[in-house]
Amino acid sequence: MTFLTHLECSVCGDRHSPHEPQTVCRSCGKSLLARYDLAAAKSSFTKDSLKGKPYSMWKYSPLLPIERQENIVSLGEQITPLITLPKFGENLGLPKLIMKDEGQLPTGSFKARGLVMAISKAKELGIKSVCIPSAGNAAGALAAYAARAGIEAHIFLPEDTPEINIKESLVCGAQVELVKGNISDAAKRMNERRKTETTWFDVSTLKEPYRLEGKKTMGYELGEQFNWELPDVIVYPTGGGTGLIGMWKAFDEMEKLGWIGSKRPKMVSVQSTGCAPIVRAYGEQKKNSAFWENATTIASGLRVPKAFADYLILEAVYNSGGWAIGVSDEEIVNTVYEIAQTEGLFISPEGAAAFAALRYLLPDGKITEEDTVVVFNTATGIKYPEVVKR
């Protein structure tokens, strides 16, 4: 059972039905957010009700948008572990440093959370064909879940997307088109094709409302894993930013359910200096970012010149008292090696960017040794062999 009631525009508040396919707000074109009857949920969906449930993100189903269980298209989305980094943390002076390892999800990245929800809802709504532009891991996740659901997938990727992302899309039977440029160019090409391919449903980041609901489960998991006392700081590598926005949404829902208090972690958005629209907007204290020209970074998931819902990313950073930090590709690669050699963990370049950012937060006291700091590794490093040189 879900307590889903309606979809609400994140800007103008216009309401939309969750019982028919929806993309963005029909009134203003901004992202839609799923809303639930939290007052009704409060009486039956409690913290205690989670005990003994399967160790899966689907334990939070009452506050997820799938209305009939038979429509869930699962590949085994388990709760991802919290892993301490004692040596790396000691070297930095952060004894309470913890990594949440999203690389242990199906298809090897956090994109599984969003795409399992989008495809499950697409199945529920009778959608037969979906399309997406991707910088990499979202492509593989979409292809896998679409194959499982029997839904046709059309994927548009930059030509220099990591090879493994192209191959995992192809092996799952997706139709793949490679495009010169970055994810924005891939999106332009996809939208050109959609002028004639009118049955394709767009599941681009935050241009449909349900990928966000999958990503918000990271927030629920953190709450439960920390016994409903959230960490002091969350450091999150940011491309499209759905996970950061989703966690912020989850925290609001959890407080309304009475599961947590009003305390929030400081949210830190991390990007590469080769593509840092959120960092630049934060530095200028703006509510929206500007398109980043000539975006380039080894961390393919961070090469997003302009996030569609940038205003929601920045809102979460500002409201939490957090920061936006840029790190260089050199720092990213060095951190991949450093964490592998100190902790035995082969993390993604996006996750390494988040760890590298810690060195910018420590010197001026933004974070201290007293803080519990959670850093998200968003994918397994095995998907990025090009980062490691022989």
pLDDT tens for residues 321-338? 999 999 999 999 999 999
pLDDT digit string (tens) for 22-57? 999 999 999 999 999 999 999 999 999 999 999 999
d(CA 7, CA 4): 9
**pTM of the full structure:** 0.96
**What is the CATH topology of the domain spanning 82-109+212-387?**
Rossmann fold (3.40.50)
Sorting pLDDT into bands at 50, 70 and 90, what band is 339? very high
Note whether 358 and 83 are within 8 A (CB). Answer: no
Tell me 81's DSSP state. P
User: 5-9, 52-56, 270-274: which range is least confident on average?
Assistant: 52-56
Q: Which of 96, 60, 104, 97 lies closest to 80, judged by CA?
A: 104
> Could you tell me which CATH class the domain 111-202 is placed in?
alpha beta
pLDDT band at 364 (very low <50, low <70, confident <90, very high): confident
* Residue for token pair 């930013």: 241
**β-sheet bridge partners, residue 237:** 270
DSSP 142-156: HHHHHHHHT-EEEEE
**What is the pLDDT, as a whole number, of residue 390?**
83
Q: Which residues of 196-214 are buried (b: 16+ CB within 10 A; e: fewer)?
A: eeeebbbbbbbbbbbbbbb
Q: Is the dihedral of CA 99, 385, 77, 300 positive or negative?
A: positive
Q: How far is Cα 247 from Cα 227, in angstroms, rounded to an integer?
A: 16
- State the residue for tokens 């016994």: 227
**SS3 call for 235:** strand
Q: How many CA atoms lie within 13 A of 294 on its CB side?
A: 0
